[in-house]
């Protein structure tokens, strides 16, 4: 872990920086967030340039999708630099350019040793900080933004030591029941537990079944979009279908997304940036969020609560297409070209997170997105995909167990 301590510490700081204080997320401390985001990306570039460049070139050198995505981001950022005309827009350009560079995590997280060291440090040091934090400050709806690695490891609970298995299981169950109004947190915890249960049904979840489920994750959002636009069924307005029957508390299923989609799409059509995007320096026109808009004259909201609509606003349909291909290529490789069942399961999780990105998962440079792109990088990585089931199980256990003890366990 010593050789990757700097990167591990940076990822740890991203977690601590996200701890809310007095119900206010420290992301509202923009200078701190911008500084840590910048340092994180610089550290990733250092690891890529100075330590693992040969391996990265071998793995991603012929990946034209990744190159095209970064090329398009560069064009959008240059356009943003040209059109920004005040302090707030230059500030937005700097902040959200870094959000667009989040896939940079892939250039480092393909490496099993790096991932092991980071997760080992996170669970031994940062996780303890989280426990101490919860003893003094109670905020029950932000766990999912702080505990990103828990969702990743939670998919493989049967493989890890009993002590950690119980701790993570308690956390996941807590996130399910502690606050039903924190719907994103509840959904991600429930899905993680379902993936965990899936580990007991390896024979039933064959390659064909996993591939079918994988494709469904990418198809469902388009079906729901068509149904919503045609007025047949709006998935965000389930309260209209259920609440009248008195079956569900309205607060749990309240629609907080439809009006955002309407604003984002109307703004793109009105200002003619559907294909090219408005650049990270600008946001979508908004009438609902005037209280938080820094640029009052233009009445724009620079960032919304979900990933893909933000990518659409900043980089247009071209950016959304390329960004989505990064998910699809990783998950498809994981499902169809992996030597072990666990990476195939993880690939299905990646496809779920792509689908979930249409309703949540805000794209900040934080531990939540670092964990997500670690998962995506694992599906890309030939090192992980070439592992056998037994080798992957050993790697997962090595996060929590010292190497000497692990060798003893494997020899029994």
> What is the predicted pLDDT for the residue at 204?
87
Does residue 233 form part of some domain?
A: yes
Whether the per-residue pLDDT at 176 is higher than 80: the answer is yes
Rg (Cα) of the chain, in Å, rounded?
21
Does residue 14 form part of some domain?
A: yes
Q: Which of 361, 372, 347, 346 is nearest to 215 (CA)?
A: 347
> What is the predicted pLDDT for the residue at 41?
82
Query: Strand locations in 280-394, DSSP E?
Result: 284-285, 300-301
The DSSP output letter for 320 is H
Average pLDDT of the residues of the chain = 83
Helix (H, G, I), strand (E, B) or coil at 167: helix
Ramachandran angles phi, psi of 280, nearest 5°: -65, -10
Domain limits at 67? 4-20+28-239+255-410
In this predicted model, what pLDDT tens digit does every residue of 258-284 receive, in sequence order?
Answer: 888 989 999 999 999 999 999 999 999
Does residue 204 form part of some domain?
A: yes
Kindly list the distances between the CA atom of residue 280 and the CA atoms of 93, 261, 302, in Å, as whole numbers in the listed order: 5, 18, 8
> What is the predicted pLDDT for the residue at 377?
94
Does residue 336 form part of some domain?
A: yes
Does residue 307 form part of some domain?
A: yes
Picking from 33-42, 44-53, 57-66, 288-297, which range would have the lowest pLDDT averaged per residue? 288-297
- Residues 217-234 as b/e (b if ≥16 CB within 10 A, e otherwise) read bbeebeebeeebeeeeeb
Percent of the chain predicted with pLDDT > 90: 46
Percent of the chain predicted with pLDDT > 70: 80
In this predicted model, what pLDDT tens digit does every residue of 96-154 receive, in sequence order?
Answer: 999 999 999 988 898 899 899 999 988 988 888 777 777 666 566 667 778 889 999 99
Does residue 339 form part of some domain?
A: yes
Whether the per-residue pLDDT at 406 is higher than 80: the answer is no
Does residue 304 form part of some domain?
A: yes
The shares of helix, strand and coil residues in the chain, as percent rounded to the nearest 5, are 75, 0, 25
Does residue 180 or residue 331 have the better pLDDT? 331
- For residue 161, give both structure tokens: 């030591």
pLDDT mean over 293-298: 57
Helix (H, G, I), strand (E, B) or coil at 49: helix
Kindly list the distances between the CA atom of residue 226 and the CA atoms of 40, 213, 230, in Å, as whole numbers in the listed order: 39, 20, 6
In this predicted model, what pLDDT tens digit does every residue of 28-46 receive, in sequence order?
Answer: 456 777 777 888 888 777 7
pLDDT category of residue 23 using cuts at 50, 70 and 90: very low
Number of domains the chain contains? 1
Whether the per-residue pLDDT at 197 is higher than 60: the answer is yes
Kindly list the distances between the CA atom of residue 157 and the CA atoms of 153, 169, 197, in Å, as whole numbers in the listed order: 7, 8, 9
Instruction: Decide: 185 and 359 in contact? Cβ < 8 Å.
Output: no
């Amino acid at each position: 872990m010593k050789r990757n301590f700097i990167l591990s510490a940076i990822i740890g700081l991203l977690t601590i920086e996200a701890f809310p204080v007095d119900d206010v997320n420290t992301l509202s401390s923009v200078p701190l967030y911008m500084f840590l985001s910048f340092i994180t990306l610089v550290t990733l570039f250092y690891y890529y340039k100075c330590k693992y460049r040969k391996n990265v070139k071998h793995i991603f050198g012929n990946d034209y999708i990744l190159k095209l995505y970064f090329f398009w981001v560069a064009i959008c950022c240059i356009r943003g630099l040209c059109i920004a005309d005040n302090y707030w827009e230059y500030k937005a350009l700097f902040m959200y350019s870094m959000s667009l560079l989040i896939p940079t995590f892939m250039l480092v997280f393909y490496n099993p040793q790096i991932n092991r060291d980071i997760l080992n440090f996170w669970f031994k040091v940062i996780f303890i900080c989280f426990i101490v934090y919860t003893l003094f400050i109670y905020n029950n709806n932000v766990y999912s933004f702080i505990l990103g690695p828990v969702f990743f490891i939670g998919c493989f609970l049967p493989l890890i030591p009993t002590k950690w298995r119980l701790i993570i299981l308690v956390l996941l169950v807590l996130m399910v029941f502690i606050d039903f109004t924190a719907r994103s947190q509840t959904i991600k915890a429930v899905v993680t537990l379902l993936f965990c249960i899936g580990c007991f049904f390896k024979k039933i979840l064959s390659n064909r079944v996993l591939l079918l489920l994988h494709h469904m994750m990418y198809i469902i959002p388009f079906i729901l979009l068509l149904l919503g636009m045609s007025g047949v069924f709006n998935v965000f307005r389930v309260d209209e279908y259920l609440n009248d029957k008195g079956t569900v508390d309205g607060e749990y299923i309240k629609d907080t997304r439809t009006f955002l989609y309407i604003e984002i799409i109307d703004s793109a059509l009105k200002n003619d940036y559907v294909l090219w995007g408005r650049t990270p320096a600008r946001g979508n026109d908004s009438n609902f969020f005037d209280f938080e808009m820094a640029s009052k004259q233009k009445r724009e909201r620079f960032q919304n609560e979900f990933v893909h609509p933000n990518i659409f606003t900043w980089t247009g349909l071209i950016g959304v297409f390329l960004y989505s291909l990064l998910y699809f290529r990783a998950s498809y490789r994981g499902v169809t070209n992996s030597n072990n069942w666990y990476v195939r399961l993880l690939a299905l999780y990646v496809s779920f997170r792509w689908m979930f990105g249409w309703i949540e998962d805000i794209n900040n440079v934080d531990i939540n997105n670092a964990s997500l792109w670690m998962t995506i990088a694992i599906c890309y990585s030939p090192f992980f995909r070439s592992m056998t089931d037994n080798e992957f199980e050993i790697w997962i256990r090595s996060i929590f167990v010292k190497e000497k003890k692990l060798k003893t366990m494997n020899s029994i």
